Amino acid sequence: MRRIASFFFALAAASWPPAAQAGDDDAIMASSFFTLTRLGGGLQLSTEYVRERPILGGNRNYVRFEEQLQLSVDSFVLTPRLMTLNASGDLGFQQGIDSYRAPGGAGSEISNDARLFGYSLSGVLLGGRPVNLQGMSSMGRSNYTADFAPTSTMQQQSHGATLNISNSLVPTRAWFTYTERTIEDDLPGSVPRLDESAWLAQLRSRSHTARQDTTVEYRFLDLDNRIMDGADFREHVASLNNGLELARKDRVHLDSVFRFQDRESSLDYRSFDLQESLAVKHGRSLETVYDYQFGHFIWDAAEEDSHRGRFRTRHRLYASLYSEAGGHYDYLDFEGAGVQNVYGPFAAITYTKKLPLGGTLVLSPSASYDVVDRGLSGFALSAIDEPHKLTAVAPEFLQNINVAAGTIVVMDAAKTRTYAENFDYKVIVSGARTALERVVSGGIAEGDGVLVSYEYLPITAPATAVFTRSVAASVDFRVVRLSYSFTRSEETVREGPRVPGLPFVRAHVFSAANSVEDVTFEAEYRVENSNSSDFTVYSLTQRFTPTFFRKVSVGLSATESFLTNSFSDDKAVSLMATANAGIQVTPRLLLKGQLSYFDTDAQVTSDQQVAVARLGMFFNYFRIVTSLEGEYYVNNLDDLFTQRYTVKAAAKRVF
């Protein structure tokens, strides 16, 4: 094959173009030839059959056929002074039929077919610039037929490409992809129910000399959804990420990220993000990082602004001890609803010490204190057409508090009549709550439904503080590892009304692991207390993975866990065990098997048992690799059974 290709391309290059004079550029082409050093590839065929009995009864059958062709060409030279090219490609086909027949006789069927094409080109251009181009295209179609629904068809296609160009100064990467999907009915006069297209383009350039890394990205998504009313939208997303090392000696690094998103739909959404990060390395032992982020969001008629700042410094005191401290400040402004400030410091220490017998001790205490302030912004919110039923027996309270009584408007359910205060209804204010009561002599009948509109101020939330402290310790030897961690977090009220049920969490976690050659033992014990529930969990895991005579490998794994939950008064015990084995019968024949079992027994929640058995045979003969795999799956969920049988056969020829 190599000699024939070289002779053919040399003959073609020598016979065309016609002979040229010395110094003519065509003389270079006439004296050049193609060289094909290697042609390779492979062909793979596979078939999969699944038969399933679902929990609700009936039968499900699934058959899939797949063919894939691979081709590769190495060292394909087009004029040595211009380009060296390596090429490879994939071509695949897939067909499948999925049918389901319910216990009553009604059924459905899904048939699908897909085609996949992928390619990869790499080479060296003039001047020694490596170039790599990768792309893929896929097209698929699915038909759905059922006894109780109209026939529908879904078509989907996707195309993408990636281009990399590198040189000694500025390596550049460009990426482009396009995706299109359509779902339509096969009924006369029907229109597509869903039409979606998406574009993505990305360009990245990195300079070694200037120490700069820049990425530009643009996304566009167009969705015409006729299945869900109001779900149509067009979305634009643009982002810029620029990293720059300003000073090499001091190691000053700046990252800038810009992102803009615009969605046009029944509910318009726009967002703007700006992020700046500055890292400064002060010598060998001190480093500081500054982060700032600004965001502006518009969702329909609501707006939100946010400012977030972070500061962190890390100091290595000794080779075994370093400290980390910093703080943050977050400001959020919800237009018409209020503002929120969250700020506070944090600190952490990590101590590492070498122990005798090759052990290592790591101790990491940390603490943080966050203050959360919430307040009114001074803007009133509106409640429109809030439904209520008025009686003369008991007042009907409105859904919100801090209602401006002078803004209350009451109308009948048809919105054709506006009722008058003190003639048809009365307004009763009780603290922060507001209620309406029917006037007997008015125009509202007993129990009639009305629509109420009004303005109100949102609730003034209290200022709280969250104090979190934790400590973690671990001792790691070569065969034994012990670790312990403790975390306590509680939220208290600093200013404002007392609020019951604020979050409170306290957790202890202890774990141990032992590993000697092929045997591993792990244990974990966890206790977690909060204001809503108490959890106690312990688990034990054992693994055994020996190999006998270099031909037989065995793996055994078992995990048992116990859980108690005081909130739901539930106790659960679960067991998960897995056994697998592999036998190399001959250099060309390999057998594999696996058994898995999962069992959970709970007092309140569901009981479940799952068992899975897998067998596989893999045979390699004259570059033809064949495999035969089978699986049996059974699931028992509260005495509701699911059974599934799967058989898969595949063959691959490499040339």
For the stretch 539-567, pLDDT in tens is: 888 887 776 656 777 888 888 887 776 65
Assign 629 a pLDDT band (cuts: 50, 70, 90).
very high
Q: Residue 269: in which H helix or E strand, if any?
A: strand 269-282
- DSSP collapsed to 3 states, 435-475: EEEECCCCCCCCCCEEEEEEEECCCCCCEEEEEEEEEEEEE
Question: pLDDT value at position 148?
Answer: 67
> What are the backbone angles phi and psi of residue 407, rounded to the nearest 5°?
-100, 5
Question: pLDDT value at position 26?
Answer: 34
Non-local (6+) Cβ contacts of 459 within 8 A are 401, 402
User: In the chain, pLDDT over 90 holds for what percent of residues?
Assistant: 12
Residue 575 has pLDDT above 90, yes or no: no
- DSSP collapsed to 3 states, 167-190: CCCCCEEEEEEEEEEEEEECCCCC
Mean pLDDT of 53-69: 77
Omega before 17 within 30 of 0, i.e. cis: yes
d(C-alpha 372, C-alpha 341), whole Å: 6
Question: pLDDT value at position 245?
Answer: 67
Q: Where are the alpha helices (DSSP H) in 206-296?
A: none
Assign 232 a pLDDT band (cuts: 50, 70, 90).
low
d(C-alpha 501, C-alpha 493), whole Å: 11
Lowest mean pLDDT across 117-126, 461-470, 597-606: 117-126
Mean pLDDT of 280-302: 82
Residue 384 has pLDDT above 50, yes or no: yes
- pLDDT tens-digit profile of 184-200? 655 555 555 667 777 77
Non-local (6+) Cβ contacts of 375 within 8 A are 338, 339, 340, 460
Residue 131 has pLDDT above 80, yes or no: no
Question: pLDDT value at position 264?
Answer: 67
Q: Decide: 117 and 159 in contact? Cβ < 8 Å.
A: no
Transcribe 275-330 into DSSP letters. EEEEEEEETTTEEEEEEEEEEEEEETTEEEEEEEEEEEEEEEEETTEEEEEEEEEE
Question: pLDDT value at position 13?
Answer: 30
Q: Decide: 367 and 487 in contact? Cβ < 8 Å.
A: no
Query: 47: exposed, middle or buried (C-beta count within 10 Å: 0-12, 13-18, 19+)?
Result: middle
Q: Residue 34: in which H helix or E strand, if any?
A: none
Assign 22 a pLDDT band (cuts: 50, 70, 90).
very low
Assign 276 a pLDDT band (cuts: 50, 70, 90).
confident
Mean pLDDT of 372-385: 68
Lowest mean pLDDT across 10-19, 227-236, 618-627, 642-651: 10-19
Question: pLDDT value at position 185?
Answer: 56
User: In the chain, pLDDT over 70 holds for what percent of residues?
Assistant: 74
Mean pLDDT of 39-63: 79
Question: pLDDT value at position 171?
Answer: 67
| Stated pTM of the model | 0.60
Lowest mean pLDDT across 21-25, 309-313, 643-647: 21-25
Quick check: helix, strand or coil at residue 401? coil
Q: Decide: 436 and 396 in contact? Cβ < 8 Å.
A: yes
Residue 604 has pLDDT above 60, yes or no: yes
What distance, in Å, lies between the first and last C-alpha atoms of the chain?
13
d(C-alpha 521, C-alpha 515), whole Å: 6
Question: pLDDT value at position 65?
Answer: 81
The single-letter code of the amino acid at 546 is: P
> What are the backbone angles phi and psi of residue 568, rounded to the nearest 5°?
-100, 5
Assign 27 a pLDDT band (cuts: 50, 70, 90).
very low
The more confident residue out of 412 and 157 is 412
Query: Rounded mean pLDDT of the chain?
Result: 76
For the chain, the 3-state helix, strand and coil shares in percent, each to the nearest 5, are: 5, 70, 25
Mean pLDDT of 627-634: 92
- pLDDT tens-digit profile of 387-403? 888 887 778 888 877 78
Assign 413 a pLDDT band (cuts: 50, 70, 90).
confident
Question: pLDDT value at position 596?
Answer: 92
Non-local (6+) Cβ contacts of 431 within 8 A are none
The more confident residue out of 626 and 170 is 626
DSSP state of 379: P
